[in-house]
Chain A
């Protein structure tokens, strides 16, 4: 019987991996250039949209605050506001997100989605799945600081069909030693809520502490939101502001209430 070191075992695992035959240097440089151009254009659009949003919110926010009544399952001052708000769907996803956040939190802007990862030459193009209009990355800015909310959802009844996912298995929560703070709660109606807090540097180099809330429903619907403390690197080459702070703008309870809101599947 042969003795193997870990390195030798890994070399065995690599047997059969063929070295790349095509030089993709030019393709990589070209793809990077296209991304740069898109982001420059996106930054202009985002700035314009942000200004328009600020103007619109001056009218919209007082109405939202007045509508905050009712009880919530989760404790915390904002969860009550968020759960009870369940506003009538608005046209602009950023405005909907803004209306579900604590008043005065800052300005919310939805970023343009990144293009799909380019495939190597000769491979079919990556499938672009239809998604909810709320899915995407939202940047919250206030006083030169910035944070982000990243939303992903799945509705099995959506037409055209969306990419299915869920429920959250969160195997990372079982790592030893526990570096993530995870909690699972069974909600009324059979839904499940998984809350996670991960330490700085895990989600991204500059994302800071990250809170995540995911809700999985018995009918296979799923909603997933990530709140980061920083935005550097979300869109390389684009700066949205300094780090929000030590923690994301929404704590776990607030983020859970945000995730549980029925507006996402309204």
Chain B
């Protein structure tokens, strides 16, 4: 516990750990689709952040570093544990139509239909409001990959959620797609 005591003097790190956890948990939940898995992902991420902070590398922006660590840890974990990733076999084809709670379930189910990296791209782009360039930098991929992953992910969302909320979501997602293509070309 010696190091823990020493690093209690790092107020920025402590404040980050205690205040940014929930924000990271929300993104993790969207990617994992499960609260326990999201908590595990966030805790692993925070430990990596602490280790990096204590290491030789100077981390200028803790939040950006944590976000990058979160998505890359998520993608890497799905990559290594490919045998656990069977999104297309276990989900209902047409989520039940009903109240907002049902819509939430349907959106989570729709997100789980996406490949891990597509999921991460959508969360970064639309939930965390990151630009194409920032998302590409965070994921270590080209901007073109981000654009194509976004387009494909949105198309899957639209097709899946049309059963739940009709064409309204389709139209909105269509607008997002049109906007994205127009802006990013």
Residues on A lying within 8 angstroms of B by beta carbon are 1-7, 9-10, 12-20, 23-26, 28-33, 35-36, 117-120, 123, 150, 152, 164-172, 174-177, 179, 198-205, 222, 226, 236-237
> What is the bound-complex CA distance between A15 and B104, given in angstroms?
7
Contacts of B171 in A (CB 8 A): 3
Judged by a CB distance under 8 angstroms, whether B51 is at the interface is yes
Judged by a CB distance under 8 angstroms, whether B76 is at the interface is yes
> What is the bound-complex CA distance between A16 and B88, given in angstroms?
24
| B72 contacts A13, C-beta separation under 8 Å | no
Query: What 5 new A-B contacts, CB under 8 Å, besides A6-B122, A6-B157, A9-B157?
Result: A5-B172, A25-B18, A33-B1, A171-B82, A205-B140
| A4 contacts B172, C-beta separation under 8 Å | yes
> What is the bound-complex CA distance between A205 and B51, given in angstroms?
16
Main secondary structure of the interface of B (DSSP, over half): helix
Judged by a CB distance under 8 angstroms, whether B70 is at the interface is no
| B104 contacts A12, C-beta separation under 8 Å | yes
Contacts of A13 in B (CB 8 A): 29-30, 104, 107-108, 111
Main secondary structure of the interface of A (DSSP, over half): loop
Contacts of A199 in B (CB 8 A): 141
Contacts of B108 in A (CB 8 A): 13
- Assess A119 versus B40: contact at CB under 8 Å? Given A5-B176, A9-B157, A12-B103: yes
B30, B43, B83, B165 pick with most chain A CB within 10 angstroms: B83
Judged by a CB distance under 8 angstroms, whether B169 is at the interface is yes
Which residue of A30, A176, A236 is within 8 Å of B148 (Cβ)? Answer: A176
Which parts of B27-77 form the interface with A (CB within 8 Å)?
29-30, 35-36, 38-40, 43-44, 46-48, 50-52, 54-55, 68, 72, 75-76
- Assess A14 versus B54: contact at CB under 8 Å? Given A169-B82, A169-B85: no
Nearest CB on A from B152, distance (A): 6
B46, B79, B88, B103 pick with most chain A CB within 10 angstroms: B79
Contacts of B76 in A (CB 8 A): 203-204
> What is the bound-complex CA distance between A26 and B14, given in angstroms?
9
| A236 contacts B48, C-beta separation under 8 Å | yes
| A36 contacts B54, C-beta separation under 8 Å | yes
> What is the bound-complex CA distance between A9 and B145, given in angstroms?
23
- Assess A179 versus B141: contact at CB under 8 Å? Given A13-B107, A28-B50, A203-B76: yes
| A172 contacts B117, C-beta separation under 8 Å | yes
A9, A30, A118 pick with most chain B CB within 10 angstroms: A9
| A175 contacts B117, C-beta separation under 8 Å | yes
A1, A28, A33, A168 pick with most chain B CB within 10 angstroms: A28
| A28 contacts B47, C-beta separation under 8 Å | yes
Judged by a CB distance under 8 angstroms, whether B173 is at the interface is yes
Supply 11 A–B pairs (Cβ within 8 Å), ascending by A: A5-B176, A9-B157, A15-B101, A20-B21, A28-B17, A28-B50, A29-B7, A123-B39, A170-B82, A202-B75, A236-B48
- Assess A171 versus B87: contact at CB under 8 Å? Given A17-B26, A23-B18: yes
Judged by a CB distance under 8 angstroms, whether B90 is at the interface is no
